[in-house]
Amino acid sequence: MSQTPYTFEYEIKASPKVLYPYLSSPSGLQQWFADKVIVRGSAELHFYWDNENHPALVLPGKANKSVKFDFKRGNSEPGKHIIELSLDVSEVSNTTYLTVIDGASTFKTDADAEELWDYLIDKLKEIVGS
């Protein structure tokens, strides 16, 4: 049985060029998303939360637009545990929106998922001055 991904959208007062390094680079991700991020090879990152390692492959994305991480879990098939972070700018209001699609995390309730992502995005907003 596969879980339905959680999807959240946030308005962030910063341009995609400013935001993208925080979504795509180990040093940027370490500032708001994980306790520690280590590069392994050309397309693998190891995310650490509470000293626990969570390896992920970095999937092809678009510069200043989107990034995807495919988290490895035991013997599960690739593509089953993906977190995607994508940026979009409204042509009407020139506002940047960050969309989070989280198919890797497991939560007891939808409210728990929303609370975690709200907290993480608030940290990101604080860093970029949004």
> Angle at which helices 110-128 and 16-24 pack, to 10 degrees?
120
Each of the 130 residues of the chain gets a pLDDT tens digit; together they read 357 899 999 999 999 999 999 999 999 999 999 999 999 988 999 999 999 999 999 999 899 999 999 998 777 777 789 999 999 999 898 899 999 999 998 899 999 999 999 999 999 999 999 8
Q: Give the model's pLDDT for residue 1.
A: 36
* pTM assigned to the model: 0.91
Query: In the structure, how many helices (H) and strands (E) does the chain have?
Result: 3, 7
What are 66-89's pLDDT values in tens digits?
A: 999 999 877 777 778 999 999 999
Question: What span, in angstroms and rounded, lies between the C-alpha atoms of 33 and 48?
Answer: 10
